[in-house]
Amino acid sequence: MRNMLDFSSWQAMLSTLLGLVLVTFVAVGIRLLAMQHIQQRRERQNRQINERLKTLIAAYKTLGGSFTGNLAVDPRHMRDLRMQAAEQQGESENPPHSERRRRIRDAVEAALSDVILLGTAQQVRLAVQAANDMVAGRPVETAALVVSLRDFIRDVLELDAVPGDLSIPRQGPLRSPSTGRGSNAGSSGQGKGNGQGGAGMATGGTLGLGLGHPALDAARQPGTDLRDP
Instruction: Give SS3 for 45.
Output: helix
Q: Does pLDDT of 226 surpass 90?
A: no
Contacts of residue 151, Cβ cutoff 8 Å, sequence gap at least 6:
161, 162, 229
Closest by Cα among 75, 200, 196, 193 to 139: 75
Taking only the tens place, the pLDDT of each residue in 142-162 is 999 999 999 999 999 989 988
Q: How many CB atoms lie within 10 A of CB 182?
A: 20
Closest by Cα among 141, 148, 104 to 124: 148
Q: Is 172 exposed, middle or buried (0-12, 13-18, 19+ CB in 10 A)?
A: buried
**For residues 110-122, average pLDDT:** 94
**For residues 191-212, average pLDDT:** 39
- C-alpha angle 177-178-184 in degrees, rounded to nearest 5: 130
Q: Is 197 exposed, middle or buried (0-12, 13-18, 19+ CB in 10 A)?
A: exposed
Taking only the tens place, the pLDDT of each residue in 43-62 is 998 999 899 999 999 999 99
Residue type, 98: S
Distance (Å, rounded) from C-alpha 54 to C-alpha 51?
A: 5
